[in-house]
Structure 1
Amino acid sequence: MVVIRLARGGAKKRPFFNIVATDSRSRRDGRFIERVGFYNPMASESEKGLVINAERLAYWQSNGAQLSETVERLVKGGKVSA
Structure 2
Amino acid sequence: MAMKIRLARAGSKKRPFYRIVAADSRQPRDGRFLEKLGSYNPLLPKDSEERVKMDLDRVKHWLDQGAQPSDRVSRFLESAGLLEKKERANMQKAQPGKKAQERAAEKAEKAKAADEAANAPAEEAQAEASADEAAES
Is the pair's TM-score, using the shorter chain for normalization, greater than 0.5? Answer: yes
Q: 2:62 aligns with which of 43, 48, 60?
A: 60
Query: Secondary structure, in 3 states, of the residue corresponding to 1:4?
Result: strand
Match of 1:51 in 2: 53
Using the TM superposition, give the Cα deviation of residue 43 of structure 1 relative to its aligned residue in structure 2, in angstroms.
2.0
The code of the aligned residue for 1:38 comes to S
The match for 1:26 is 27
Deviation track 1:21-51 (CA, whole Å, cap 9, x = no partner) reads 0000000000000000000011257771110
| Structure 2 unaligned blocks of 5 or more | 83-137
Question: Which structure has the highest helix share of the two?
Answer: 2
Give the deviation of 1:75 after TM superposition. Answer: 1.8
Where does residue 123 of structure 2 map in the other structure? none
Structure showing greater Rg: 2
1:42 matched to which residue of 2? 43
1:9-20 matches, cutoff 5 A: 9-20=10-21
Q: Distance in 2 between matches of 1:32 and 1:8?
A: 12
Distance 1:7 1:36 in 2: 11
Cα distance, 1:46–1:57 mapped onto 2, change above 3 Å: closer
Q: Percent of aligned pairs with the same residue?
A: 46
Deviates more, 1:31-40 or 1:67-76: 67-76
Output the CA distance in 2 between the equivalents of 1:77 and 1:25.
27
Which residue does 1:69 correspond to in 2?
71
What is the aligned length? Answer: 80
